[in-house]
Amino acid sequence: KNELLLAELTEAVGRLNKSPANVEEFVVYLEFHTKVTERMDIIEADFETVKEMYLFFDSEKLSVKEEDHLLYNTGTVANMHSLRSLLGKTEDDKDSQIRHFGMDITEQLDQLRGRTLDVEKRAQDPRIDDDTSNIDEVIAYLESLAEELQDIKDKERDYTNYQELFGLNVTRLEEVNNVGRDVADKIKLWTGMRDWQKITGEWTNTRFNSINPEEVAEKVQLYTKIVSQTARALPENPVVPKLRSLVDEFKLTVPVIQCLRNPALQKHHHAAIDEIVGREISRDPDYTLGVLI
């Protein structure tokens, strides 16, 4: 029992003796301090049990190995006194430590604000407002900005949580959300352009009889919404009217697709359509949506 108690005391004293070097270490230090404090009643009870055991051995003049006695006196007893002292000292120094690391948090948040303003500046790259830019390059660039902003957000969350934990005034970086929205809107616009071109390319190369009119209508509605959202957020970006033009142009074909792919059509209807078009749409494997358009 003495060995188990000594092991716990040694770990506690060792960790509480080590001064935290930064706010992250201080938070871990406080959490460990709280954990040990909550266990002190049990630790004290275990110590009293071991103490009474050695007092009994001494009073009864029972034989105890010298190294065990030495371990108890210089190890268990000494560490118990050290632990009590450290717990009290940590509690006494807590307020000054919080003030010290609170200043550190403020400095870290200022650095995050600087990083955010740098991302905001880079988000104005002229390639983003050029509808002739390489789509994949622009998206990769914007996504790298989004990743950096996510790192900033994660750190801001940690630091504001520390402020709440320490009972300090919480500092929110509103710039992070504003820049985040701007970057997200630009990603939505450029990925919308990329994905729209990809999906319409697939449709135009798909055999007409395999086209799902409901899916087409849903996608057109989705990208119409994307155009509307990005137009409000990025009214000066020339990519918006370019995407709108592509979507609006394709939108004109939706009613035609829905009519020609109506499951209620009978054989005589298909025959009439084939005659009008001048081609057997229903039987021609090479008749794609692209041909119809």
Class of residue 8 by CB neighbours under 10 A (exposed 0-12, middle 13-18, buried 19+): middle
pLDDT at 245: 96
- What pLDDT sits at residue 87? 93
The share of the chain scoring above pLDDT 90, in percent, equals 62
Maximum C-alpha span of the chain: 118
Residue 213: the pLDDT is 86
- CA-CA distance, 275 to 161, in Å (whole number)? 72
Which of the residues in the chain have pLDDT under 50? none
**Residue 207 φ/ψ, nearest 5 degrees:** -55, 135
pLDDT in tens, 227-279: 999 999 999 999 999 999 999 998 988 887 776 666 666 666 666 766 766 66
pLDDT attached to residue 107: 94
d(CA 98, CA 64): 47
For residue 211, which of 166, 250, 153 has the smallest C-alpha distance?
A: 250
pLDDT at 252: 87
Return the pLDDT at 59.
Answer: 61
